[in-house]
Chain A
Amino acid sequence: MGMMMDLAAFFDQAWVARLAILKGLGTTVAVSALAICLGTILGVGVGLALTYGARPLRWLTRGYTDFIRGTPVLVLVFASYYVLGTVGLDLPPFEAGVLALTVFCSSHVGEIVRGALQAIPAGQSESAKAIGLTFTQTFAYVLAPQALRQILPAWVNTAAEMVKASTLLSIIGVGELLLRIQELISRTFLSLDFYFFAGVLYFAVNYAIERFGRYVERRSALPT
């Protein structure tokens, strides 16, 4: 009987707060989408620099990725939030958070791109050269398509990581889903119900991304 009353109270409160929850979900999507898009653009640049750059550029980029990957995401978020104010770039939490996640995403995407490009056998570019293609043509028609096959599943995985990382922005006060849920809990005291609810929502989103990733992997695979 107590359980039933709990569930009824939960659904009641959830319905009352539906707007806040939806707004939170919207913010989560916005944060994740921005971080993924900007992070991918930056990451492709990083990956290309690591693969084809001159020695000094490669060193610099390597330093960048090693530094970012050796730092916890939360520390990146805090650093972005606190530090940028002092150098005159006073960003509100949302922008600071997205910046941190973008940088984090770029280091992952950079590694993925580098790995995929370096996995292509040297013979591919050699034979392309032999039939007279320029580097740009080789990249566009021979290398990129093959690299993409390896990049896509890993990239989808990174996208899922970004959605999970968006929860960290609640700690600096960005109004995404987890923060909204926590506000709800502080009002209703239904911690168990609402944390479980949050878990279910995040699971649903990430599981959908996981399934999408497997679909992409199947579609992009070469016929056997």
Chain B
Amino acid sequence: MSRTATMPTNGATDPISNATSDVKPYLSLDDRENDLGRGLNRESAKRLLAFLRPYRAQCAISLIAITLQTLGELALPRLLGIAIDQGIARQRTHTLLVAVGIFLGCVLFVFAARWTQGYTTTRIGNRVIFDLRYSLFRHIQILGFKTFDRMGVGRLISRVQNDVSVLQDLLTDGIIGLFADLLVLVGIIIAMLTINIELALLSYIVLPIMIVVVMIWRRFAIRVYRAVRAATSRLTGYSAENISGMRAIQSFRREQENFVRFERLNRNVYNETTHSIRLNSVLAPSVEMMSGMATVIVLIIGGNAVISGTLTIGALTAFIGYVARFFQPVRTLSDRYNTLQAATVAAERVFELLDEPPDITDAPDAITLPPIAGEIRFDHVTFGYGTTPVLRDIDLTIPPGTTVAFVGPTGAGKSSTINLVPRFYDVWDGRVLIDGYDVREVTLESLRSQFGIVLQDTFLFSATIKENIRFGRLGATDAEIEAAARAVGVHDFIAQLPEGYDAEVGERGSGLSVGQRQLIAFARVVLADPRIVVLDEATSSVDTQTELIIQEALRTVLRGRTSLVIAHRLSTIVEADMIVVIDGGRIVERGTHAELMTQQGQYHRLYTTALRHTNDGMATMAMLET
């Protein structure tokens, strides 16, 4: 999962945009199973219980209800026995009817208790799950980007989705179920003992055999189950990749070869599954056998006792009823154990995330950054993600209102540089100053509220266009939003959509072209009207017409603001007030386009190599003139 950790080139530069990639969820093997078989953790259990605390009263209701339900259920076989012994055997019609009446009442009572219990438990479970997810979400909002780099977005999502779901199973089913099972087991044991001690003890003989069988079975089952999961997820991963890459497969005529591989994976799933089918089919009949054995023991011994008059026929009937129910909890207890273990692991993961300290926080004595002019100073900054620095001794002053273009090869440190200004990361050494304030000495809120940001991979939320632009300033009116859209030249496009500004844009802005997405992101910044703009220019190409509109919009966005731009467009670079060439984490050159061209240094080389192969000499001349 930790893609970012292994990326050689653009390693930690943009942890976020790696997030929601295509086939990933299918490929990830659920690593939960590797942890099965670990012991229960008291610490996590305690913390989980703390989440139940607000719902104490409901928990109490639930427990009382389940106790009553179990008692009622256990009373039924006994009532049947009494009806037979007191009513039928003694030919007393009235007693029989009374016993039946009580039986009926008991059934209705169990119904009420079961309903109350079920409803309350589900409610508590869902409520606690909501609380947990919400806490996680809130916590994620303050976590540092370092954590994202390390954990990967996929894993974070899986914490909130899967791990919490496992806990939900525990809360709605596991704990209460466990309690009920134990209650039933103890209840039956007591009920049987009160009827006839000898017979009761005899029927318990089967129990140890049963427990051993279930335990051995469980060990096999976990292994086989894991194998099925692994095989299935490999097949799914392969299918996902092949479907999304079908065009490539057909282009390279790989149909036969890939089918052979698919078949192999498919057969593997088939084999593992049939194996698991044979195994999982063993348990139920075994329990049936045991239960049959116990019943027969009871029948022979009890039957003899009835014949010799030491046991009533009603008591025997009740006994048979209890034996039939006896094995159910033993069987489910092993399932509960699984749930419990899975939940323990899940709980640990959830709490681990909740405990993750945010690495970027307001200093205790942080002050509010007043409205700024927009001067940015890098004061001998050194910075890195892991152990080796990515930026070394960056020293740079950017006067208010100027546009700086960062240029350099991939991985040189351009993104890292601009990430430090809104304090997405903290420097290792040196300082980043805005209007003379160290970014670490002001509140994050007041710092970032003065920023506008446009990322390379333009991000839009699945919401309307209007809402997406309004993200820049929540209080903005519709008129202001339209004005912002006009300013960047995207209004005409939006206006001709059937639903105009209320048009929904899909996931990550699907339905819009790259260029349109960028323009909407620009509108967002214009609406926010920040003093500082951080912009990572998109590299993907757009057609000429759109290119023109974007170039114009960019000028609007950057005008009058301090702008840090990772530039890919020649026009942006050439028009910048200052070009900073970064290589190997150091600033190697700085100056205007004209200055750098005359220096004949790295910029000159970059510019000419790029251009020699991209444009005519004439074009280069044309550009130099602007």
A binds B: no
Binding site for B on A (CB under 8 A): none
Binding site for A on B (CB under 8 A): none
